Chain A
Amino acid sequence: MEVLIYTAMVSVIMLGVISLAFVTLDVRGKVRASIILQENYRFAMNRVTMIVNQAEDITYPTIGETGTELILAMAEPALDPTVINTVDGIIYVQQGLGQPMALTSAEVDVQGFSIDRASTTAPMVRIVVSGRLRDSHSSYPDLSVTTTAVVRK
């Protein structure tokens, strides 16, 4: 009888420990996903904003239009044109004839990259980026960030 009671108690304790371990791993995974998303977004958004600030003009989207690709006219011929877009959920920037450079890591799946060109004569875009950790469970956090960048010529 005592053996049965002990076995039951040990089973309960083991279940508790295993549940705790799962929850711990889940939270750790979510926190890690959030940190990776934040770091990627911070780097990509800062870089995109800086490139827009330094551009001469915005070629695409045209005034008042919305697109999923940003094409900038640059003063320096080697950097002209500069194209920012997403391929397979990764944000890339290609300047002139150079190779495309990834602004986000392969861990992040950028699912939304929207460029809204303002109706003003002064070139300006509103950028919305949304995404999540690649192949992550649906309970993992996603993140959407919006900002505006102005060509400062």
Chain B
Amino acid sequence: MIEVILAVALLAIFASSLSVYLNNQLAYMTRGQSALEAIYLAQEGLEASRSIRDTGWENLATGTHGLLYDGTWSFSDTQELIGIFTRTILVEDINENERSVISWVTWPGTTALRSIMLATNLSNWREIIEPLLIGDWRNPRTLGTVDLGPGNEPTDLAVRDGLIYLSAQASSGAKPDFFIIDATNGESPFVAGQIDTAPGLNGVDIVGDFAYLANQDAANHLQVANINNPSNPYLISSYRLTGNTSQALAIAATGTVIVMGTANDSGPELFTVNVANPSTPAVLNSLEVGGNVNKIFIKGDKAYLATSHDDKEVIIVDIANPGNPAIIAQINLPNTNDALGVHVNFQDNRLHIARKLSSSANSPEVSIYNVADPINPVLLGSMEFVGDVYSAYGADNLMFLASSYSSQEFQIYNAINPNSMEYWAGINFPQLAVDMVLENNIIYMAIRSNDALRIITSQ
């Protein structure tokens, strides 16, 4: 009998050990499968970040994000849940043209939370390394134009993948003032969609599926439009910058933050706005400028403002912490003519400044500064011009001007030596040119006329 009991006991011990072993094997199997799924989700996070980078360096915003896929990848404000997995993307600055991206996937294990992290560094190589221009820009040609009908005057534009987002002011509040123009075939562009935001718009910028609009209505400074379907844009929110009673003049977007500028006001003129949820924008902070903020350009975590202030026509603001923006530099240009436009060429860190015409001597309408160190802008050269210059845009060694000069509103200069810029070519428009954007060797230019959009390229 004792032998039998011993045998059963031994068998029980053996069976228990085997059971533990088998359970471990099953747990190991499940863990292995989960780890494999997590690795590919993490890898997908890096590829998604890469594709977001490809839509625009400014879209690869620093911070902690979730991911959203609706045919394209974009960052969202909340972590992404995929079954048992949670995916988080962390983006940090290494320098102004390089960011580290960490794709972090976690999931519940049997005893603890398990995680996998993959990391990569993404650079702004397209804008730094690749030449932006090809062909003969000594002989520019008009590819196509778009007529918005009588009484419409464009004020600003943004461009992405051949779609042009145009803000305008109309002769009547009942007319459309935001247009999406399909210029994927530059020779036959057409208005794909439009909205009447009333009373009119002064600025536009786009991020992901949303257009951010600077409205002339001082009670609705910021408006957000869903542009997911270019033929059917629609407003999703209107927002007042509390305490400011002047109209919004300028807007620039980066990630989930909007930088907005208004006309001179008794209160602050510059605002940072959180649009992580575009339906409910919220002011993060504001800054006193002391003049009109006519234009805003964002490069990395710096915002460059063109202002009407007599002593600081250009202001550089650090927006690394949008909740606490800080002025890090200001440029006092000769004389007092207002700055109307600013653009930084990512390739060479040249800040191009466009100004109103001044009849006084030594009051250059165009200036170029080196802002490799944004705290210490260094003047490279400047130029007197014969009209108001609304926009000066740098690409490769060239500078494009949009101006009020009635004989040639559009001009091209070789600015390889900013101290001695060489005129190359120009085109006459029916009215003054107010803004431009370069994409894929094509200049999209907003003209203050019915003939609202000119599409220009090289021979």
Q: Which residues of A contact B (CB under 8 A)?
A: 6, 9, 13, 16-17, 20, 23-24, 27-28, 30-31, 34-35, 37-38, 41-42, 45, 49, 64, 118-122, 124, 126, 141, 143-150, 152
Contacts and interface: CB of A to CB of B under 8 A. Distances in A.
B73 A118 contact: yes
A145 B51 contact: no
**Chain B at the A interface: SS class:** helix
Interface string B9-53: 001000100110010011011001100110011011001101100
Nearest to B50: A150
A16 to B, nearest CB: 6
B174 interface: no
A31 to B, nearest CB: 5
A42 B47 CA distance: 17
Given A38-B36, A121-B161, A146-B82, 18 more contacts: A6-B4, A30-B29, A31-B26, A31-B29, A37-B33, A38-B32, A118-B73, A124-B47, A124-B73, A141-B29, A141-B33, A145-B37, A145-B40, A147-B44, A147-B47, A148-B43, A150-B47, A152-B50
A9 B50 contact: no
Contact of A34 (B19, B22, B33, B71): B33
A150 B18 contact: no
A99 B194 CA distance: 52
28 contacts: A16-B11, A20-B18, A24-B18, A27-B25, A27-B26, A28-B25, A30-B29, A31-B28, A31-B29, A34-B32, A34-B33, A38-B36, A118-B69, A118-B72, A119-B71, A120-B72, A120-B73, A122-B55, A124-B47, A124-B73, A145-B36, A145-B40, A147-B43, A147-B47, A148-B43, A148-B47, A148-B48, A150-B47
A105 B22 CA distance: 27
Given A38-B36, A122-B55, A146-B40, A30 B47 contact: no
B72 A23 contact: no
A122 to B, nearest CB: 4
Contacts of A144: 37
